[in-house]
Amino acid sequence: MSDPRRVPLLAPASPLNSTHYYPHEGLPPGSAFHAEHTQVQSVLVAPAGMPLHELGNGLASSSVAVASEEEEEDRPVRFPSVIVMPGLWQWLFFILVGVFAALAFTVLKHPLQERGITSSDVLRYGSIPLISIVFTYLHIWLALWMTFYPIEFFGCLQIPGTNVGLGWQGIIPFKAEKMARMATQLMTQRLFDVRSIFARLQPDHVASEMGAALHHTLEETISSVARLHSPDLWDLLPARVKSELVTQAHEDAPPAIAKLMLQMQANITELFDIEAMVVDTLMRDKPLLNNIFIECGHAELSFIRNSGAYMGGLFGAVQMIIWIFWEEKFMLPAFGFVVGVLTNWLALKMIFEPVQPHYPCGSRGLRVQGLFLQRQKEVSAVYARTISRRVLNSKNILAALVAGPMTDRLFALVHEHVKTVVDEYAGVSRAVLNVTVGAQLYARIKEDVCARFLERMPSLLLSLEAYTDRALDMERTIREKMEALPPEEFEGLLHPVFKEDEWKLVLMGGVLGVAIGFAQIYILGG
């Protein structure tokens, strides 16, 4: 049978939060704390399984829920389109092909026939490189697209534990949790230390930033506790005396807050689970993970898509020459498989390899290096901006403190600290209070003060959002650290999270190549 005293002060706001803090442990069920505890629950408890960002009005003014970012930041980043306006060189190519086709069927028709080349031959052989160009362009674009989409599995009979079946799920969305954990581990190992980051919060600045919110919290706490235990006496007190009590508490608060902040900073790794926060954020918003990679690599994705046409033209020309001298039906699907596999493999390799730059024509000549790595500075800036604004922002961090898997430890720390502050505030009157009201009632009063303060703690943290973003300065920290990474570590920060599934995209290119090969046999009259 469950203990009726164990009513959680903070119910789980997400699947990650499986532990609760019971500040009233050991108090009798009839204590004053229990008389008011239902009100605390009504403010802080969310339905089980509801993510923190959906608490909304349920947390009222004390919410530190993850609010949506500004509208322009919420728009998904556009994946490079499959249809783009051709450039100058592409237009020249189309014009030359058109002119040659027109000449082959008009002015050059008879001269070609005299050499045994019919119009049908021109059409048959000329279609091979053209089909190869279109096919390679499309299947490379499709391979890149399937890395990110669909967000959820599309199809049926999905094989458990995989992203395949009679359908497909994008590699990155499918591996969102694993990628989030790996990215967090890499960031905390190579880019920043959680302790040093939180050490940037200055206790005196924290107390100053709380300002009006702290004054309101103290006023509400003193008033509600006084009305609970001595309503008649509290009503008789002049407004000036009540105001002086609040003012005195507010003046005494900064040293107490500074002491609490120092304790939190010293134990931050026990109070804040950055990996759980990042995983929760990205699992709730899988398109965000896509946006991070697409925005960072948009230039590379577009370049590789366009390279598909050039690779297709090259392989298509080779295929045409072989077909002229060796018209075997199996050659086209076989060659299609090789081209599909090879071009997809090359396209994916071009992003991250080679890791170290090579200069085959001298240090001032051609630079051969993975496309992503060539733009390390630009990619670092985009990655840092997106991560700091959408993931490691103050709203998510403060929310994780009050509704994360380590919330019980934070609340225990604050609870003990507030009890100590109450004793210090009571000062020499503490002994008198123990005699006049009794030690048991005095203990209940302290517990009620703690409960009221914990109830309003989210609103206090909410007032720190702007200062926290400025003080932590995550964007500059991540950007500068990423820019300074050697190429192999920079590659290791982004590539390993989806490297193990690249073979699926390579194989898909081969399968499509076989299908196109059989289509070519049909077109060529086989």
Convert the pLDDT of each residue in 213-243 to its tens digit.
777 777 777 777 777 777 777 677 777 777 7
Distances (CA, A) of 416 to 413, 450, 451: 5, 8, 11
**Both tokens assigned to 464:** 């720190």
Q: Residue 402 in contact with residue 62, Cβ under 8 Å?
A: no
pLDDT over threshold 60, residue 71: no
Region 28-51 average pLDDT: 35
Q: Which whole-number Å values give the CA distances from 486 to 179, 221, 373, 489, 499, in the listed order? A: 21, 53, 10, 6, 19
- What six digits make up the tokens of 339? 């081209």
More confident residue, 75 or 278: 278
* Average of per-residue pLDDT across 480-506: 79
pLDDT level of residue 346 (50, 70, 90 thresholds): confident
Instruction: Give counts: helices (H), strands (E), the chain.
Output: 26, 2
CB 240 within 8 A of CB 11: no
The highest-confidence range among 25-39, 154-168, 295-309, 487-501, by mean pLDDT, is 154-168
Of the ranges 44-58, 287-301, 427-441, which one carries the lowest mean pLDDT score? 44-58
pLDDT in tens, 155-198: 998 899 888 889 999 888 888 888 888 888 888 888 888 888 88
What integer pLDDT is reported at residue 75 of this predicted model? Answer: 56
DSSP letters spanning 113-127 = HHTT--HHHHHHHHH
8 Å CB contact between 502 and 348: yes
Q: Is there a contact between 198 and 261 (Cβ–Cβ < 8 Å)?
A: no
Quick one: pLDDT at residue 476? 92
Q: Over 80: is that where the pLDDT of 453 sits? A: no
Residue-wise pLDDT tens digits, 104-156: 888 888 887 887 788 777 887 888 888 888 888 888 888 889 888 999 999 99
Tokens of 88: 């100058």
308 has pLDDT over 70: yes
Domain ranges (residues) in the chain: 128-189+283-388+488-523
d(CA 17, CA 406): 8
Could you tell me the pLDDT band of residue 21, with boundaries at 50, 70 and 90? very low
Which amino acid, 11?
A: A
pLDDT for 479: 92
Does pLDDT of 57 surpass 60? no
Higher pLDDT, 334 or 210: 334
Q: For residues 282 and 149, give the distance between their C-alpha atoms in angstroms, rounded to a whole number.
A: 15
Q: Flag whether pLDDT at 289 surpasses 80.
A: yes
User: Residue 186: what pLDDT?
Assistant: 81
Confidence band of 425 (pLDDT split at 50, 70, 90): low
Band the pLDDT of 43: cuts 50, 70, 90: very low
Q: Which of 25, 35, 19, 33 is nearest to 5 (CA)?
A: 25
% the chain with pLDDT above 70: 79
The mean pLDDT value for 457-475 works out to: 85
Q: In the prediction, which pLDDT does 25 show?
A: 37
Provide the pLDDT confidence category of residue 52 given band limits of 50, 70 and 90. Answer: very low
Tokens standing for residue 367? 């630079």
What's the pLDDT tens digit per position in 311-334?
Answer: 888 888 888 888 778 877 788 888
Mean pLDDT across the stretch 384-393? 89
Higher pLDDT, 374 or 403: 374
* pTM flag (> 0.85): no
What count of residues does the chain have? 526
Q: What is the pLDDT of residue 480?
A: 92
Q: What is the mean pLDDT of the chain?
A: 74
pLDDT for 323: 79
Burial of 236-264, coded b for 16+ CB within 10 Å and e otherwise, reads eeeeeeeeebbeebbeebbebbbebbeeb
Say what angle helices 474-484 and 465-472 make with each other, to 10 degrees. Answer: 20
- Contact (Cβ atoms closer than 8 angstroms) between residue 322 and residue 341: no
